[in-house]
Amino acid sequence: MGGAPNPVSGGEIQEAVDHLERAGLFDRKPNQGRLFHHLAARLLRGETDATKE
């Protein structure tokens, strides 16, 4: 659960994720959308150490 402290709150991150989802940004790229949601969920859980690329 390490990693650098995040200056952005979890609520702000979730709000941004929700906004992108409503905007349909990943409608034509579902694989990228799944990756984005996976990485956003890990960030919200504080799991940033194992993220490589």
Query: Rounded mean pLDDT of 46-51?
Result: 79
Mean pLDDT, the chain, rounded, equals 84
| pLDDT level of residue 21 (50, 70, 90 thresholds) | confident
pTM above 0.75, yes or no: no
At residue 1, the pLDDT reads 53
- Do the beta carbons of residue 20 and residue 36 sit within 8 Å? yes
* Crossing angle of the two packed helices 10-23 and 30-45, in degrees rounded to 10: 170
- Is the pLDDT higher at 21 or at 52? 21
Instruction: Say yes or no to pLDDT of 52 above 80.
Output: no
Q: Helices in 1-53 by DSSP H: which ranges?
A: 10-23, 30-45
Among residues 30, 29, 48, the alpha carbon closest in space to that of 39 is found at 48
Q: Around 6, how many Cα atoms within 13 Å sit in the side-chain half-sphere?
A: 18
**Domain locations along the chain:** 10-45
